Amino acid sequence: DAKTTQPTSMDCAEGRAANLPCNHSTISGNEYVYWYRQIHSQGPQYIIHGLKNNETNEMASLIITEDRKSSTLILPHATLRDTAVYYCIVRVLHNAGNMLTFGGGTRLMVKP
């Protein structure tokens, strides 16, 4: 699976949009972009995933560039409870057998 590069940490003001970037310049055509987050003391929580189209769900939006070499996770109105480590992972989907390979992630701190 392709590797990803994320900033180590970011701050965001409560109520503002949090934009978390991820570079995946070696992504292959059949690799999806997945985002998870891990709030302290909990297991990773699935957020969203996409292939090439932008995606939105109740938690976040995922914007993938046209060349698919980078993406941005957007939390539209960050709250204190969104403080967590956010992981961007690229993964091939076949037979659901591909495990997730975690990098260092971005530690997002939402401040009052």
Partner 1 sequence: SAVISQKPSRDICQRGTSLTIQCQVDSQVTMMFWYRQQPGQSLTLIATANQGSEATYESGFVIDKFPISRPNLTFSTLTVSNMSPEDSSIYLCSATPNSGNTIYFGEGSWLTVV
Task: Rule CB under 8 A: choose which of 25, 26, 45, 79 binds partner 1.
Answer: 45
44 binds partner 1, rule: CB under 8 A: yes
Q: In the complex, what is the shortest distance from the CB of residue 50 to partner 1, in angstroms, rounded to a whole number?
A: 12
Q: Between residues 14 and 92, which has the closer beta carbon with respect to partner 1?
A: 92
110 with 83: CB under 8 angstroms?
yes
DSSP string, 36-83: EEE-TTS--EEEEEESSS-EE-SS-EEEE-TTSSEEEEEETT--GGG-
Q: Which region, judged by CB under 8 A, interacts with partner 1, from 12-20, 54-62, 74-82, 97-105?
A: 97-105
Site size toward partner 1, by CB under 8 A: 21
Using CB under 8 A, pick the residue from 8, 29, 42, 66 that binds partner 1: 42
For residues 62 and 60, what is the distance between their CA atoms, to the nearest angstrom? 7
Alpha carbons 5 and 16: distance in angstroms, whole number: 24
107 scored as a contact of partner 1 (CB under 8 A): no
- In angstroms, the CA 53 to CA 62 distance is 9
Q: Which parts of this chain interact with partner 1 (CB under 8 A)? A: 34, 36, 41-46, 49, 87, 93, 95-97, 99-105
